[in-house]
Amino acid sequence: MWTKNPLAEKQSNINYYMADPEVRKASWKSRLEHTRGRRAEPGASPRLPCSRTAPKLHALITQNIDELHQMAAIRRQVIEVHGTMRKVVCMSCAMTAPMQKALDRCGRASGPAVSRLRGILKSATISFGQALGAGGDRGAMRAAAEADLFFAIGSSLQVYPIAGVVPLARDAGAKV
């Protein structure tokens, strides 16, 4: 992907995004043009934890940014390690708002570059070069340490710190 569109790599890197207004503008333009993710509906995979065992589900740790687990009616704690594309965050004050609200503003000006407090708005997802949100990281580790049974589904578990949840659960006595 990066070789076909080097600007996409810059849009996904927090340092470029924060430093360059043109990168932010391109990012918002891309978000406006690519609506597929915002229209996505949960399929079988996000619905899986809603089966008969759902009452025993303590937490669901996800690296997905699409909120499809919540849309699939998971009523337990969903820990979004990499954030959500369905919200924006002010990089100055941490205020969050629905993404659609920010996208609606994009059509009426040069885009939602700043919040009311003059902070830069960004998708509430973790970008390359950006630290994981402390809440998601700590929540994932806590849930893993408390698990009796731990499933790792659909992840290569190659990137830390989230790759550490499986050994943490196993070391705490969970069946993995």
pLDDT value of position 135: 60
Find the domain containing 26 and state its range: 6-130
Provide CB contacts within 8 A for 166, sequence distance 6+.
144, 150, 152, 157, 176
- The closest alpha carbon to 81, from 15, 13, 14, 162, belongs to 162
Contact 99, 122 (CB under 8 A): no
Number of domains in the chain: 1
Asked, for residue 155, whether it belongs to a domain, the answer is no
Query: Which pLDDT score is estimated for 114?
Result: 53
Asked whether residue 170 is assigned to any structural domain, the reply reads no
Q: Does the annotation mark 58 as catalytic?
A: no
Is residue 160 in some structural domain?
A: no
| 139 lies in some domain | no
Q: What pLDDT does residue 94 have?
A: 85
pLDDT of residue 6: 78
Mean pLDDT by 10 residues, the chain (176 residues): 77 92 88 73 57 64 78 71 88 88 70 62 88 72 89 82 89 93
Which CATH number fits the domain that encloses residue 126?
A: 3.30.1600
Active-site residue, from 34, 58, 69, 82:
82
Beta bridge partners of 83: 125
Q: What is the pLDDT of residue 76?
A: 65
What SS3 class is residue 175?
strand
Q: Is residue 20 part of a domain?
A: yes
Residue 145: inside a domain: no
Query: Which pLDDT does position 73 carry in this prediction?
Result: 62
pLDDT at 44: 59
Q: Tell me what pLDDT residue 20 has.
A: 92
